[in-house]
Amino acid sequence: MSKSVQLPLFTEDVRVNEFLILIEPPKNVTDYVSILQKELKEEFGSFKSGESKAHITVSNFLVTQKRMDDVLAKVQRRVSLFSTFEMRLQDFKVFESGNTFYIGVQSSHTFNSLISEFKSIKKEVVKTTKFYSSDPPHLPIGQNFNSMVFSQIKDRYLEKPFFYTFDVRKLTVLTRSNSNENYEFYSHLNLQN
């Protein structure tokens, strides 16, 4: 009687890292969002992204550990061609899909060009089906609220004004090797100043 043996498809261990490239707003904005998340949690209970630090996602993708330094070097070269630009946060908004509450980001020509550049980079160097760009750009506060809570949040915040501008001088790169883990700082991608 013969035994069948399954051989591995790859002869080497292939490890994949997830990268999150984001814009970090200034400390006063992150502090404000953190206080807002805490107030919502105290009033309505836990919610997805309730512990997440304020950020604006630029891109999210998977890369094998073997290629990550090369891929990120190419990303840095391309991103470094962009000049510092102004980011405008404006008004509280919602995505009905996912019951998501967020602060809106006014798209600028430079930000849209940066997103297009990441889409181009994906075609050239990031060979994966998991690739995400923030569209429309936004600064999430929380998501997956139950319908009743989401309705109360909309009633309370959608009419309140919010406006803040800041200069984006660098992008932050976070990484994790398992989707159940928290992201860890990896590096900064500096723009031209």
Going by C-alpha positions, the residue among 118, 109, 55 that lies closest to residue 83 is 109
CA gap 23, 89 in Å, rounded: 12
- 69-96 pLDDT per residue, tens: 888 888 899 999 999 999 999 999 999 9
For residue 138, the 8-state DSSP code is E
For residue 124, count CB atoms less than 10 angstroms from its CB and return exposed for 0-12, middle for 13-18, buried for 19 or more: exposed
Give the pLDDT confidence of 90-141 residue by residue, as tens digits. 999 999 988 999 999 998 899 999 988 888 887 776 655 555 566 688 999 9
* Mean of per-residue pLDDT scores for the chain: 86
Q: Taking the CB of residue 4, how many other CB atoms lie within 10 A of it? A: 4
Residues in the chain: 193
Q: What is the pLDDT of residues 26-57, one digit of tens each?
A: 999 999 999 999 999 999 988 777 778 999 99
Q: Tell me the C-alpha distance between 109 and 71, whole Å.
A: 25
For residues 149 and 16, the model is more confident at 149
Return the pLDDT at 8.
55
What's at 50, amino acid-wise?
Answer: G
Whole-angstrom distance, CA of residue 114 vs CA of residue 109: 9
Residue identified by tokens 């102004």 is 86
- Tens of pLDDT, residue by residue over 3-12, are 666 655 555 5
Map out the domains of the chain with their CATH numbers: 16-190 (3.90.1140.10)
Helix (H, G, I), strand (E, B) or coil at 192: strand
Provide CB contacts within 8 A for 9, sequence distance 6+: none
At 47, list the tokens: 């919610």
Number of C-beta neighbours around residue 167 at 10 A? 11
Quote the percentage of the chain above a pLDDT of 90: 55
Q: What angle do CA 47, 62, 139 make, to 5 degrees?
A: 40
Q: Which of 176, 172, 133 has its CA nearest to residue 30?
A: 172
The pTM of the full predicted model, rounded to 2 decimals, is 0.85
